[in-house]
Structure 1
Amino acid sequence: MLGAAALTVASLAAVAGPANAGSTEGHGTRTAASSVASGVKDVCGKVPAGYARCFAEIRTDAPAPKHAAANATTAPNGFGPADLHAAYHLPTTGGTDQTVAIVDAGDDATAEADLAVYRSTYGLPACTTANGCFHKVNQRGAATPLPPDRGWGVEIALDLDMVSAACPQCKILLVESDDALGTDLAAAVDEAVALGADEVSNSYGITESSLTPGNAKHYQHPGTAILASSGDYGYGIPSEPAVFSSVIAVGGTSLTKDSSARGWSESAWQGAGSGCSAWVDKPAWQSDPNCPGRMTSDVSAVADPNTGLAVYTVAQGAPGWIIVGGTSASSPFLAGVIALGGHPAKFADASPFYAASAQAGLYDVVSGNNGIFQDCGGDYQCNGAVGYDGPTGMGTPNGLGAF
């Protein structure tokens, strides 16, 4: 096992190389290894039609560990649980009766061991198979056989760590689909709900198409909150499952400490996905003026890898502590926040975030934009704005008032 001191540009670039090499279809207008900023790589690369791409982004220029005596359990300079709880005014207790599921493609053999390092480093309670907190299954709900490694190990570690950061007392269910095929991931979502998940986070997407409406039924589970990342490709064509009206589409922000009364500031992250659906009707609870269809996103949290999260994993040859971002971070984090609130049945869709009563419980993000590959002409669809905007939705958590 490599220690945190071994965190180098070369090693991280190798970890973040394109998955599904030789595939023909990307997502949006970005190339497989491109990023919205230098020093950042996509964890998942191009994928064939019908397959999903994960939305984790890894820093290849990550700063040195916080302490000079670096070792495998010394966290780097990414945000940890205490930072996120302070930034979003979250309680440190709650969620003991909640199970948060994450759905990912393929097996991460080191998932439980890596999670143990993350949680012990930050003083979080142990979450293991032995104590009943952690449970890993295949898409049919069985502990064996687990699927092959599909190159999503960093994504899986990010998901597990972000649920842990938001809700340290929640149980975690990891459902590993056979592959990144959309039908496999949809089956894994159905299985997560069948196994009793209260919240299900999906950190992946497939560019919407004429086939999109037919897949929606797998993401409709009244009584369970279903969340999905909006994507890391800025303003453009939205992706499923985030575009489904029964799903909470999670956008992303850049989060920095400052001298304000809150102590933090946020702007729309330039990579945060947003878009106006051509295939999904506008839900009654969404009333933004310039999109006749379903608009993403609904709500958001930190996703910018340059203001990113500390994650621990040795999957795919990762060196231990790394800094990761993408809307793959904000979706599982917000699943954990909903779990802290303890009312998953309230979120059959994203409508509660649009209610006037929810606004005091959300920070309105009014600056920044995600029109890096396609401009929306100054419109709210790609610019942070008062009230609703595409990159950040209705805002980010300000305590649990909206949850």
Structure 2
Amino acid sequence: MRNHHQTQARRTAEILATLFATLALSGCGGSNSGTDTPSASAQAEGVTVPLDASGLPDAQASLVIEPTYHLAPVLLDAPDDRDVQDNSASALAAPHAQGLSASQSALNTRGLTVQAIESAQRAQALSTASGEAATPQASTSTVTTYTPAQIRAAYKLPALPAAGTTPTATQAAQLGAGQTIYIVDAKHDPNVAAELSTFNQKFGLPTCTSKTIATSAKLPLASATTSEGCTLSVVYSTASGTMSSTAPLYDSGWATEITLDVQWAHATAPLARIILIEAPDASLNSLLGAIALANSMGPGVVSMSFGANEGSWISSVDSAFSGSGMSYLAATGDSGAAVYWPAVSSKVVAVGGTSLSYAGSGTRTETGWSGTGGGISQYLATPSYQASGVPGVGSLARRGVADVAFNANPSTGQFVAVIPSGSTTASWVSAGGTSLATPQWAGLTAVANAMRVQAGKAVLGAPHAQIYGQIGAVPGTYASAFADITSGTNGVCANCTAKVGYDALTGLGTPNATSLLSALLGSTAVSTAPVVASATVSGKAGVALTFTVSTTAANPVSYALSGAPSGMTIASNGTISWAKPVAGSYAVTVTAKDSKTALSGQGIVTVVIASASTSQAPVIKASALSGIAGKALTGSISVSDPGGYAMAVTITGLPSGILLSVSGQTITLNWAKPVKGSYTLNISVKDAVGLTAQTSVPITIAAQ
């Protein structure tokens, strides 16, 4: 994601003129200013959101924003046709792998276009022909590229119905039927419909019918219906948030962004209505106008794969994200650790990026992508949903970005069909960037909305409270709905490394879509993870310690310890044993895993072991005894240990006939028929940590 100031004075003047002419408007388009949540049966009408950008400084007003995608620097072999007849055929296969030469690897992947890749290929061919490169270059790295079926399998998205079959109402909802996704971009892609058609045909996805929206259409639009299937509409916005009949100018970079956004939003929610809104230029103001137009058109999910460096001005345009029944998602950026608007808005779901590894079976693995944006805002306060109860959040100083993540590394990219302007032939590329992750999360949100509407519930709107409070803060639900990304870095800073729980690279993590959708629907079925009660246990060095953890679970569980000191074990019933504790304080994580659901819960047991070196030796209290031969004699010896340790008592010199009994720490001596004479009892006491005490007790028995 990259922003730069326009250096030409004429261009700057044009942008500023547009800005000051349009930001004075209190609102644009629309016919309803209500803010009620839409009902389940009929979504509420849209609302026009006034944009008060009067506080924008000139530097931000003249920002020109570039698309955020990356392409692997190679044109791919065309995908095979296995998915044409069976749209899930490639799901179990390994992803496409293609090598890169050294010259290809040297290309910058950010904002790369098919034209630029072809130009580099021609330059390399000319070099080879002129003798500058006598032998073919060996591959120095490999690009891995995934199909829609492989992504659906890896992220556990609902299965597509077989090609040619009519989906049930439940299946249709799982594909986003009846929902609208707004793709907001700048400039123009004249081939977006043809590219989407090529993409759909190759991967056996539902087709999309092109549908024109007249510039005079009454807003908000009629809600999408569940029976119409996918439709694609392209509208041109103005900086004032209205529709224009004039197409923006073509730009190869923005056109690539547009087509990957449309294709992968559709791949994720194949029956959702897609409305592509093309802003006339890439100025901040024009993109705000495109967002305003989406708000005017009615409830839906807005996907934004663009951004600008955050600044003190961002709060002045935050009202752009207040549409009724609207969900807003934005890319966190592709330049490493940084915070960008609009992702930083507390009303926007900020989407970060990962590097995916999935071989067609088993569980996917991911690391935080080195290029993903993310960080801590310098300007926005910590929103209430980023509470300390969410794992890993702690006490964020301000708004943390990202919220969630998806595959974004172009070297572990996803197929996109691109038809350059003036051509009719599609080239296949491996696309990445958080701009690829964003439309997929937009599609996932549209699917969640469709499932909620089918269940008689309102659409999500801003889903932060759900994904943080109802999912992230509930251990079992979090473990089921998200894959927590715990490795990877996007820079050198305190918040630049992925870790357990929330982190700035990947937020809460990437979706396990089936469980996530169930949780967003309101099901409690995924909230059955074991609960392990945290506790503090005290012990003493050298004294065997045994205790049992308290666990609540629906099914039998297995236990594991992490952070445990050497020699500590846990049994199948949750009993922890440590034969020879060592002084110190230990935070031991106890994990209980449900034997049926495979969900896990954790608790922290703090074990504090006191040092033996601070203990005192045992204490013996006993007095001399005297008696008369033949008459019963009784006496007592008391022992104690200041450290509270167990003791072993040894008594020697006992005359025949004396019986000993023990009660607590008192030893009672009973001699029924003492015999005349003098005797000495030698008493030795040793406690569990090896400290000893000794004393002698004289016994004198006189004659009758």
TM-score relative to the length of structure 2 = 0.47
Query: SS of the counterpart of 1:315?
Result: coil
Tell whether 2:428 aligns with 1:308.
no
Structure 1: runs of 5 or more not aligned: 1-17, 25-46, 69-74
Partner of 1:333: 440
Residues 114 and 66 of structure 1: is their aligned pair in 2 closer, same or farther, counting only changes over 3 Å? closer
**Alpha-carbon distance, 1:62 to partner:** 4.6
Q: Deviations over 1:194-235 (max 9, x none)?
A: 212410000000001121111111122242110000000111
Indicate which of 481, 485, 495 corresponds to 1:361. 481
Residues 178 and 246 of structure 1: is their aligned pair in 2 closer, same or farther, counting only changes over 3 Å? same
TM-score relative to the length of structure 1 = 0.80
Give the Cα–Cα distance (whole angstroms) in 1 for the partners of residues 199 and 232 of structure 2. Answer: 14
Do 1:199 and 1:225's aligned partners in 2 also have CA atoms closer than 8 Å? yes
Structure scoring higher RCO (CA < 8 A, sep ≥ 6) equals 1
Query: SS of the counterpart of 1:293?
Result: coil
Q: Which amino acid aligns with 1:324?
A: A
Tell whether 2:285 aligns with 1:183.
yes
Partner of 2:309: 207
Identical columns (%): 32
Q: Which amino acid aligns with 1:351?
A: A
Give the Cα–Cα distance (whole angstroms) in 1 for the partners of residues 380 and 3 of structure 2. Answer: 29
Report the more deviating stretch, 218-227 or 111-120.
218-227
Q: Deviations over 1:375-394 (max 9, x none)?
A: 114xxx22111110111100
Indicate which of 203, 214, 220 corresponds to 2:322. 220
Structure 2: runs of 5 or more not aligned: 9-59, 82-94, 98-144, 161-170, 212-227, 388-392, 453-457, 521-704
**Alpha-carbon distance, 1:19 to partner:** 10
Tell whether 2:373 aligns with 1:273.
yes
Partner of 1:55: 68
Tell whether 2:400 aligns with 1:295.
yes
Give the Cα–Cα distance (whole angstroms) in 1 for the partners of residues 481 and 285 of structure 2. Answer: 36
Partner of 1:42: none
Partner of 2:512: 398
Q: How does 1:43-82 map to 2 (within 5 A)?
A: 49-67=62-80, 78-82=145-149
Q: CA RMSD in A?
A: 2.7
Residues 401 and 385 of structure 1: is their aligned pair in 2 closer, same or farther, counting only changes over 3 Å? farther
Indicate which of 78, 87, 92 corresponds to 2:154. 87
Partner of 2:497: 383
Q: How does 1:167-182 map to 2 (within 5 A)?
A: 167-182=269-284
Q: Which amino acid aligns with 2:333?
A: G
Query: SS of the counterpart of 2:459?
Result: helix
Give the Cα–Cα distance (whole angstroms) in 2 for the partners of residues 76 and 114 of structure 1. Answer: 20
Do 1:258 and 1:265's aligned partners in 2 also have CA atoms closer than 8 Å? no
Partner of 1:71: none
Indicate which of 460, 463, 466 corresponds to 1:352. 466
Partner of 1:28: none
Do 2:79 and 2:202's aligned partners in 1 also have CA atoms closer than 8 Å? no
Indicate which of 255, 261, 268 corresponds to 2:356. 255
Query: SS of the counterpart of 2:508?
Result: coil
Q: Deviations over 1:307-355 (max 9, x none)?
A: 0010011135795211110000000001001111125832425232212
Partner of 2:19: none
Query: SS of the counterpart of 1:137?
Result: strand
Query: SS of the counterpart of 2:177?
Result: coil
Do 1:283 and 1:294's aligned partners in 2 also have CA atoms closer than 8 Å? yes
Residues 88 and 76 of structure 1: is their aligned pair in 2 closer, same or farther, counting only changes over 3 Å? closer
Query: SS of the counterpart of 2:64?
Result: coil
Residues 269 and 402 of structure 1: is their aligned pair in 2 closer, same or farther, counting only changes over 3 Å? farther
Residues 48 and 314 of structure 1: is their aligned pair in 2 closer, same or farther, counting only changes over 3 Å? farther
Query: SS of the counterpart of 2:287?
Result: helix
Residues 110 and 303 of structure 1: is their aligned pair in 2 closer, same or farther, counting only changes over 3 Å? same
Indicate which of 190, 195, 207 corresponds to 2:297. 195
Partner of 1:12: none
Do 1:231 and 1:239's aligned partners in 2 also have CA atoms closer than 8 Å? yes
**Alpha-carbon distance, 1:58 to partner:** 1.1
Indicate which of 212, 231, 238 corresponds to 1:133. 231
Do 2:190 and 2:421's aligned partners in 1 also have CA atoms closer than 8 Å? no
Q: Which amino acid aligns with 1:305?
A: P
Report the more deviating stretch, 314-323 or 97-106.
314-323
Do 1:141 and 1:175's aligned partners in 2 also have CA atoms closer than 8 Å? no
Partner of 1:8: none
Give the Cα–Cα distance (whole angstroms) in 2 for the partners of residues 124 and 66 of structure 1. Answer: 14
Give the Cα–Cα distance (whole angstroms) in 2 for the partners of residues 114 and 305 of structure 1. Answer: 19
Q: Deviations over 1:133-184 (max 9, x none)?
A: 1111011553622222244000001100111111111110100111111111
Q: Which amino acid aligns with 1:301?
A: F
Tell whether 2:186 aligns with 1:105.
yes
Q: Which amino acid aligns with 1:337?
A: L
Query: SS of the counterpart of 2:156?
Result: coil
Residues 302 and 179 of structure 1: is their aligned pair in 2 closer, same or farther, counting only changes over 3 Å? same
Give the Cα–Cα distance (whole angstroms) in 1 for the partners of residues 61 and 315 of structure 2. Answer: 20
Give the Cα–Cα distance (whole angstroms) in 2 for the partners of residues 281 and 345 of structure 1. Answer: 27
Tell whether 2:242 aligns with 1:242.
no
Q: Which amino acid aligns with 2:197?
A: A
Partner of 1:115: 196
Q: Which amino acid aligns with 1:81?
A: P
Do 1:154 and 1:316's aligned partners in 2 also have CA atoms closer than 8 Å? no
Q: Which amino acid aligns with 2:409?
A: D
Report the more deviating stretch, 125-134 or 292-301.
125-134
Do 1:84 and 1:165's aligned partners in 2 also have CA atoms closer than 8 Å? no
Residues 296 and 23 of structure 1: is their aligned pair in 2 closer, same or farther, counting only changes over 3 Å? farther
Indicate which of 254, 260, 266 corresponds to 1:158. 260
Partner of 1:37: none
Give the Cα–Cα distance (whole angstroms) in 1 for the partners of residues 485 and 420 of structure 2. Answer: 34
Q: Which amino acid aligns with 2:366?
A: E
Which structure: greater strand fraction?
2
Q: Deviations over 1:118-139 (max 9, x none)?
A: 1111111111215771111011
CA radius of gyration, larger in: 2
Do 1:76 and 1:310's aligned partners in 2 also have CA atoms closer than 8 Å? no
Do 2:369 and 2:490's aligned partners in 1 also have CA atoms closer than 8 Å? yes
